[in-house]
């Protein structure tokens, strides 16, 4: 199911706004506790006629310190910036459904894994766009009869090179391959059990805990992340009430995630950014309510400051700046958030 479809088919929750969102401009302070940031919405401005964007889906930083943005604009699918927001270069015109972007260090060489919604494929490339591998729809699973049923949204790559692909807009399975692209197993999928997923939009590997690593998978329409072993055994659910979370991004002890929208304002540009600590406790919501726990239970979260419309990804650079890519938000370039020390 594509985002436009599930937004149209979803209904807003009955909860009312705690605070009416206000529209703010550059130089705004967002967040709570030890995760507060100054908004810079002028960071990445380019000549739109030459370097257009449609949906700004995901961003990563390479070892050279460059910031790579993935957009589904086929005049320049990948835009590469320096940390000051200056253009370095662009490449790519063959990814009309460019959505997921994962960077992996493969034996000293950085490679990219791109999920394309329209092509129904996962494509592995060099850092400058040369194609190394293409994975088509996973007919080996027995769950799919045609490419159109498979709409991959994200990948995670294990230390041994195993590839985990989240079919977030298709049938919500996670498909595991070895480093050569050979099918190993699949898990998740839709259903009414705890191990099932609904809009498995993102996936990452969590190596912060003893006994790990583990997989964290988004179940966006359930307002949650779910944890699995590397073999796909369900472990637990991390509830995030009110938050339509995108992919989890781990940096240091913290997990960062763009929240596409708030449950009480579906389809109304109600996104924010959430940050969780090592124990999966929310410590800050950038543009959202201060996190509140009552008897150990996280209370519903929502947008309170209209700094963002539909945030789609968070990139954390080597200086702890955040970069926020947005979907369906008037073709805006990414914003930068600078930490308040």
Q: What is the pLDDT of residues 56-110, one digit of tens each?
A: 999 999 999 999 999 999 999 999 999 999 999 999 999 999 999 999 999 999 9
Q: How many alpha carbons lie under 13 Å from residue 176 in its C-beta half-sphere?
A: 18
Other beta carbons within 10 angstroms of residue 45's beta carbon come to: 12
Please write down the long-range contacts of 134-143, taking CB distance under 8 Å and 24 or more positions apart. Answer: 135/163, 135/165, 135/177, 135/181, 138/165, 138/167, 138/173, 138/175, 138/183, 138/186, 140/183, 141/173, 141/175, 141/183, 141/186, 143/171, 143/173, 143/186, 143/189
Other beta carbons within 10 angstroms of residue 278's beta carbon come to: 13
Q: How many alpha carbons lie under 13 Å from residue 278 in its C-beta half-sphere?
A: 6
Question: Which residue, among 115, 91, 209, 119, has the nearest Cα to 167 in the 3D structure?
Answer: 115
- Banded pLDDT at 1 (limits 50, 70, 90): very low
Report the topology of domain 3-339. Neuraminidase (2.120.10)
Task: Give yes or no for a cis peptide into 213 (omega within 30° of 0).
Answer: yes
Query: What pLDDT is attached to residue 23?
Result: 52
C-alpha–C-alpha distance, residues 108 and 33, integer Å:
37
- Banded pLDDT at 5 (limits 50, 70, 90): very low
Query: What pLDDT is attached to residue 28?
Result: 84
Q: Are 101 and 127 contacting, i.e. CB atoms less than 8 angstroms apart?
A: no
Query: What pLDDT is attached to residue 279?
Result: 97
- Banded pLDDT at 208 (limits 50, 70, 90): very high
Q: What is the pLDDT of residues 120-156, one digit of tens each?
A: 999 999 999 999 999 999 999 999 999 999 999 999 9
Provide the residue ranges of all domains of the chain, joining segments of one domain with +. 3-339
Query: What pLDDT is attached to residue 11?
Result: 35
In this model, does residue 294 exceed pLDDT 90?
yes
């Amino acid at each position: 199911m594509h985002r436009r479809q599930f937004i149209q088919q979803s209904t807003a929750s009955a909860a009312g706004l705690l605070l009416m969102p206000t529209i703010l401009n550059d130089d705004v302070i967002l967040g709570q506790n030890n995760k507060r940031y100054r908004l810079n919405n002028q960071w990445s401005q380019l000549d739109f006629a030459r370097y257009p964007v449609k949906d700004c889906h995901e961003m990563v930083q390479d070892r050279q310190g460059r910031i790579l943005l993935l957009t589904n604009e086929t005049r320049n699918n990948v835009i590469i910036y320096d940390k000051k927001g200056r253009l370095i270069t662009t490449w790519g015109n063959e990814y009309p459904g460019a959505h997921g972007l994962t960077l992996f260090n493969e034996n000293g060489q950085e490679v990219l894994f791109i999920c394309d919604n329209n092509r129904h494929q996962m494509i592995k490339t060099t850092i400058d766009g040369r194609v190394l591998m293409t994975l088509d729809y996973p007919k080996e699973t027995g769950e799919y009869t045609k490419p159109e049923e498979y709409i991959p949204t994200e990948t995670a790559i294990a230390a041994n090179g195993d590839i985990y692909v989240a079919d977030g807009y298709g049938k919500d399975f996670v498909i595991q391959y070895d480093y050569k692209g050979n099918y190993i197993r699949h898990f998740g999928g839709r259903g009414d059990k705890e191990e099932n997923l609904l809009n498995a939009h993102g996936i990452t590997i969590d190596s912060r805990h003893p006994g790990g690593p583990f997989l964290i998978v988004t179940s966006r329409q359930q307002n949650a992340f779910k944890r699995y072993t590397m073999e796909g055994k369900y472990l637990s659910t991390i509830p995030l009430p009110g938050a339509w979370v995108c992919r989890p991004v781990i940096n240091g002890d913290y997990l960062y995630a763009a929240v596409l929208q708030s449950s009480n304002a579906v389809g109304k540009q109600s996104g924010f950014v959430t940050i969780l600590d090592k124990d999966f406790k929310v410590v800050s919501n950038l543009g959202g309510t201060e996190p509140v726990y009552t008897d150990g239970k996280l209370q519903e979260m929502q947008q309170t400051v209209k700094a963002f419309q539909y945030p789609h990804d968070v990139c954390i650079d080597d200086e702890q700046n955040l970069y926020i890519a947005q979907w369906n938000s008037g073709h805006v370039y990414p914003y930068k958030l600078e930490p308040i020390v």
